[in-house]
Structure 1
Amino acid sequence: MKILLVQVGTQYTRDGKIIDEPIIVEHSLPLGILYLGQVLEQENYEVEYFDHAVADISVDKLSKWIVKNDFNIVGLTVLTATFITAVKIAQKLKSLNKNIIVVFGGPQATICHDKIMEKYKSVDFCVRNDGEYTFLNLIKHIESNKPVSDVRGITYRENGKVKYTENAGLIDDLDKLSFPDRKVLTDKHKYMMSGLISPIITTRGCPYNCKFCTCHIIYKRRVRFRSVRNVVDELIYLESEGFKEIMIVDDCFTLKPKRVEKICELIKKENIDLKWHSLARTNLGGLNMYRQMATAGCTTVLFGFESATQRILDYYNKQITPDLAIKSIKKVRKANIPNISGGFIIGAPTETFKEIVNTIKFGLKLNISILQFQILNITPGTLIYKEFIEKGWINDETDWEGSIPAPDICPTAVPKKILNKLIENATKRLLTNPRRIFRDYYNFIRNEYQSRYIRGLLKSITNRI
């Protein structure tokens, strides 16, 4: 049984139109297919990996390569943004070899599994939620010709009818999963810093229920934690493999500040010399936690501030306040973590032009290094998506195949053209602010994560002019 695991890239729009310049994501190794592959390899399956998100290769060429190499099963990790591209790959594969088994996994396959199987006959199975052991079990049943109806956590067809098995349950003991072998991808693809920066995940899930997010839908607001020892052992492994920077990609890394402090203490005890970056929430963690992070190698903290208007924050179910943003920044600065990133979302259904301008002004005044504004997208499965269905702005039968910018369908939202102009002007002000330039220049040139971000901003502005 020869298996290929693919991280799907973004080459098609949600309307099925090919993108002139495919989105190349070179900053992050896809941990999902690496975890899947490790479990399969431990059972002696022949597994290969392909990161379509970073490879500059068309759907046609990729599909022909897959068929030429005689893969029996192709597992595609599908995000909302990459869904249509994944469908194109599945359809092309089936046109070339109808016997190839195509399996979808990932967020979109979990949230929209029933609709995928109803509409797209080129997809044979959807694996829902944590996929490692479900996918392994599915392959074993296929290989031995056992009924797949015994496999928990899948959606499939039987005699043309879509069927679902009961949920497999989430993986409680994350420590039993082997460390992903990044070299199977870094030896094949080119990533940021030539493969010297790697993501790591220390938890799965999030207890919050932000209205624009699918995490709490997929994981039912359950959070599972790897042990402190297990996390630090992987950092030791990554350092031995030559990695220099780490991005902690947990949805809620700072949920337990004491756990974060213990991780930092053990990093220092083991003399690990890695720069690392982490997401954080403004309502979690005190000065001591950030000080521990700083002395353990943390150089960037990323916050989702979202809005300067409490009414909008409450609409998003963020459970934070604008004042917490200011207080958190002060704590991080006092702890001597050099870089702070802040993200804002604009374009909520009832958000006024004045409120959006106020949010942008608020963001520009913050003492942070990286500032990002993005337009609210409506993603299938989210609470906002369900709200838009109820209001008649979204048709769930036709609009589930990708995210939609809220202003494109919401009659009460500020038009997207105006929002884009506001973001463009804010970005120009950010990059031409002398105080920011002198304050952050040294950190930018020392930090590949930030310097790539700045180059991206400059490129986006150049393309708009």
Structure 2
Amino acid sequence: MRVLLVNVPHPSIGSRIPDDHLPPLGLLAIGGPLIDDGHAVRLIDAEFGPMSIAEVVSEATGFAPDAVLFGHSGSTSGHPVIAAVACALVKVMPRVLIVYGGVFPTYHWREILHDEPYVSAIVRGEGEETARRLMRALEYGRDLADIAGIAFRDVSGPRATQPAPVIANLDACRIGWELIDHARYSYWGGLRAVVVQFSRGCPHLCNYCGQRGFWTRWRHRDPVRFAKELARLHREQGVKVINFADENPTVSKKVWRAFLEALIAENVDLILVGSTRADDIVRDADILHLYKKAGWQRFLLGLENTDERTLELIRKGATTAVDREAIRLLRQHGILSMATWVVGFEEETDRDHWRGLKQLLAYDPDQVQLLYVTPHRWTPYFRLAAERRVIQPDRRRWDYKHQVLATRHMAPWRVLAWFKFTEMVLQCRPKAIWRVLFQRDAGLRHAMRWYTQMGRRVWPHEILEFLRARRLKWGPSVREFWGAPQDDEEQSMTATRPERRVGRREAA
């Protein structure tokens, strides 16, 4: 079959403002196995430009695909764009098959198949093996009901098959790197870059997380093979920056140390950036020198909030003392820390924002990223937010960078004022300015200046977009807007064995 992978242009601020673009890892992960199965596969990355719908349609028709596969990392806010592009493609190619995968369609398959007749099938959960089986069935006209991990229509309407098993061996499915021109993709201020996954899933139980249930359980790639792949990308393709898409790659200290040592042995000059938990950094205090030697320059730490009551509400499983210690340890070892902080909880007041700002200053992170609380229907947190009022009806704005819910005690403009004031104070305090201008480490100085430059561009854009945006004064409840809670369906796949918890004693 002729299979076209389409990465649609995403409307979020984070995608449109920077000059850098990262390759769509999810689609490349699907593309590799499909190429190995003998399909003719091509990728259209419409983020470049960004391409208009007409341009995507024109390029797609030139390839004359039998099937078009969509997926997007910004799944919820990307869905309206995917729907528009898919509809336009079907109008000019009525016989083309539309297959849709990702987090959002995994859980919203009923609504999509009901409202969007041009969608042929939905891949639920991770897609490498499921997409291979689905493409074979579509090519030879086999019954889709026999394929685990999909949703489709039959005579009775939308239906889902049994969940697919998780992929136990992540090294068995290769990434289709040949689908991209590496010279087009950059990060960290124009440095050639890729996105990778060492692991999938997370064993922690944060009740707002939209990813944990999608991956079902935590697994990891072979640490030595993974290190060799990164080294090969550097030597053969000139890749400099490795951006980890993992939710929590450091779960197992033993495995993570093996990866660090293997990458150090490859002796390649890489910049590694990614996310992890503060308690893992504190746990690994004795091997943080290996992190630095392997190339780590920044970790995003999901602090989420500085209020202990809020942390308990969202079941973060962390403490402010651990968060502060993690930032101190990273700075001691020459690794930047980016602290995320979430605002927009229902009972927040001016006093809460002021207290949070003071605690963030006490943490003293190198960088800060503020986000708005955004509930997902398939998470336990959705039930806690189900009766809150929606003020942003445009689903393209449900991307964590726009206010979507009303708060009880504060008007939206006041929430925005605290949001931007907190960013300004954190990034403009003397310590932060000193690090931007006079950081001794040239690599870290470049990183700080690049992030500061990007922030200067995003900051006024967010304010202008807020002033222009249409908001509801008294909108529907979250339940009315999205539908009934789906936390009973949170686990998208079937675990082949019970999830293995890595305790501190074992990890040490």
Name the counterpart of 2:233: 238
Point out the more displaced range, 361-370 or 308-317. Answer: 361-370
SS at match of 1:235: helix
2:121 paired with 1:131: no
Aligned Cα RMSD in Å?
2.7
| Residues 251-330 of structure 1 aligned to structure 2 (within 5 Å) | 251-284=247-280, 285-330=283-328
Aligned CA distance change for structure 1 residues 296 and 404 (closer, same or farther; 3 Å): closer
Contact 1:348 1:413 in 2 (8 A): no
Contact 1:329 1:367 in 2 (8 A): yes
Cα separation, 2, equivalents of 1:24 and 1:166: 41
Aligned CA distance change for structure 1 residues 71 and 413 (closer, same or farther; 3 Å): farther
Name the counterpart of 1:95: 91
Aligned CA distance change for structure 1 residues 442 and 110 (closer, same or farther; 3 Å): farther
SS at match of 1:129: coil
Structure 2 counterpart of 1:432, one-letter code: C
SS at match of 2:451: helix
SS at match of 1:126: strand
Structure 1 counterpart of 2:28, one-letter code: L
Aligned CA distance change for structure 1 residues 24 and 412 (closer, same or farther; 3 Å): same
Runs of 4+ off more than 4 Å: 21-25, 187-190, 392-395, 398-402, 404-408, 442-445, 447-450
Q: Deviations over 1:246-274 (max 9, x none)?
A: 12221011211222222111222222221
Contact 1:74 1:103 in 2 (8 A): yes
Cα separation, 2, equivalents of 1:93 and 1:65: 10
SS at match of 2:421: helix
Q: Deviations over 1:426-454 (max 9, x none)?
A: 22223432322222335596356544422
Cα separation, 2, equivalents of 1:404 and 1:224: 27
Name the counterpart of 1:424: 420
Cα separation, 2, equivalents of 1:147 and 1:24: 45
Structure 2 counterpart of 1:88, one-letter code: A
Structure 2 counterpart of 1:282, one-letter code: A
Q: Deviations over 1:254-297 (max 9, x none)?
A: 21122222211122222222121231211223311322201222
SS at match of 1:143: helix
Structure 2 counterpart of 1:351, one-letter code: E
Q: Deviations over 1:107-128 (max 9, x none)?
A: 1111111211111112111101
Point out the more displaced range, 50-59 or 250-259. Answer: 50-59
Query: How far is 1:135 from its partner?
Result: 0.9
Name the counterpart of 1:16: none
Name the counterpart of 2:345: 348
Cα separation, 1, equivalents of 2:349 and 2:253: 36
Structure 1 counterpart of 2:4, one-letter code: L
Q: What TM-score do the two structures reach when normalised by structure 2?
A: 0.82
User: Quick one: which of 358, 361, 368 aligns to 2:355?
Assistant: 358
Name the counterpart of 2:215: 219
Structure 2 counterpart of 1:342, one-letter code: A
Name the counterpart of 1:159: 155
Query: How far is 1:22 from its partner?
Result: 5.6
2:70 paired with 1:64: no
Structure 2 unaligned runs (5+)? 465-508
Q: Deviations over 1:140-176 (max 9, x none)?
A: 1111111111111111112361121111111010111
User: Quick one: which of 244, 251, 254 aligns to 1:248?
Assistant: 244
User: Quick one: which of 29, 36, 56 aligns to 1:35?
Assistant: 29
Structure 2 counterpart of 1:138, one-letter code: L
Structure 2 counterpart of 1:330, one-letter code: R
Q: Deviations over 1:323-356 (max 9, x none)?
A: 111111122222x223111110011122333112
Cα separation, 1, equivalents of 2:201 and 2:48: 26
Name the counterpart of 1:377: 374
SS at match of 1:372: strand
Contact 1:380 1:400 in 2 (8 A): no
Name the counterpart of 2:10: 10
Q: Number of matched residues?
A: 452
Contact 1:5 1:75 in 2 (8 A): yes
Contact 1:407 1:414 in 2 (8 A): no
Aligned CA distance change for structure 1 residues 3 and 46 (closer, same or farther; 3 Å): same
Structure 1 counterpart of 2:375, one-letter code: I
Structure 2 counterpart of 1:33, one-letter code: L
SS at match of 2:318: coil
Q: What TM-score do the two structures reach when normalised by structure 1?
A: 0.89
Name the counterpart of 2:195: 199
Structure 2 counterpart of 1:67, one-letter code: T
Structure 1 unaligned runs (5+)? 14-18
Query: How far is 1:179 from its partner?
Result: 4.0
Cα separation, 2, equivalents of 1:25 and 1:439: 23
Contact 1:202 1:231 in 2 (8 A): yes
Contact 2:185 2:192 in 1 (8 A): no
Cα separation, 2, equivalents of 1:55 and 1:361: 41
Contact 1:345 1:373 in 2 (8 A): yes
Cα separation, 1, equivalents of 2:431 and 2:264: 33
